Amino acid sequence: MIKKWKRWLDFTLALTTRELKGRYKHVVLGFLWLIINPLLQMLVIGFVLQFFPGIRTENYFLYLFLGLLPWNFFSISFSKAVSLFVDERHLIKKAVFPRESLILSLVLSNLFHLIVGFILVFPFSLTMINFFTLILAIFWIFIFTIGISLFFASLNVKFRDMSFLVRAIIPIWFYATPIIYSIQLIPEKIKLILFLNPLTAIIQLFRVSFGIQDYLLSPDALWLPIFSTIIITILGILVFKKEQKYFDDWM
């Protein structure tokens, strides 16, 4: 049993390393792109929103950056993962290995980028960084991304429309998450709907970790996104376990 888990871990780490090396092959600026991309997004959004002063909050650029970093991790991982089983069909047909390793390695490689991105932001924290909250938020977004990716990637093997659906959903999801605006601007009745989206609470936790107390996350505000995450993750695992046996037939 231990040897089996070790082989699975070694294989997953090998795939993660392959993903990281492939991403930065022949890239001059390398890891600097981890911070350049959200910086460019931040500057464009900040410029546009200067014409809408009611949306911007105190310490807005740090507020925005701490929303864009986790969002980019999630959106890039999710959008790539949904078609990953189909994209890697030749590997799936030729070799016997845990199929979930493909999703896990992709998300792990992006998690590495997320952690490096936050390390680069450390000097700009408004207070001493709350590492407990930061680690909790990183773990939470990692689990949520794995769960929803497994769900849609498994269905996409049979129903290729899923990849198109995800591409359509992601831009809408961006605006349905308090990234560029403060959750304080949202009426109380709608806040409950926003917290059905786990990313709402997760991004708030990241901001709290760096001293931005935009919205107090009470236990009552956390139970709904935690419940949503658990349901989505369980569904993702169950759908994957059910559908993976048919992957070869549908490829």
- Tens digits of residue pLDDT in 108-160: 889 988 988 888 888 877 778 889 999 999 999 999 999 999 999 999 988 88
Determine phi and psi for 15, rounding to 5 degrees: -65, -40
41's CB contacts (< 8 A; 6+ apart) are 68, 72
Positive or negative, the CA dihedral 155, 100, 240, 232 is negative
In this prediction the pTM is 0.85
Residue 94 CA: distances (Å) to CA of 85, 86, 238: 13, 13, 24
Mean pLDDT in the chain?
A: 82
Model confidence at 198, pLDDT cuts 50, 70, 90, reads very high
Instruction: Report the pLDDT averaged over residues 46-62.
Output: 71
The token pair at 156 is 């996409």
CA atoms of 74 and 197, how far apart (whole Å):
13
CA atoms of 111 and 115, how far apart (whole Å):
6
CA atoms of 61 and 57, how far apart (whole Å):
9
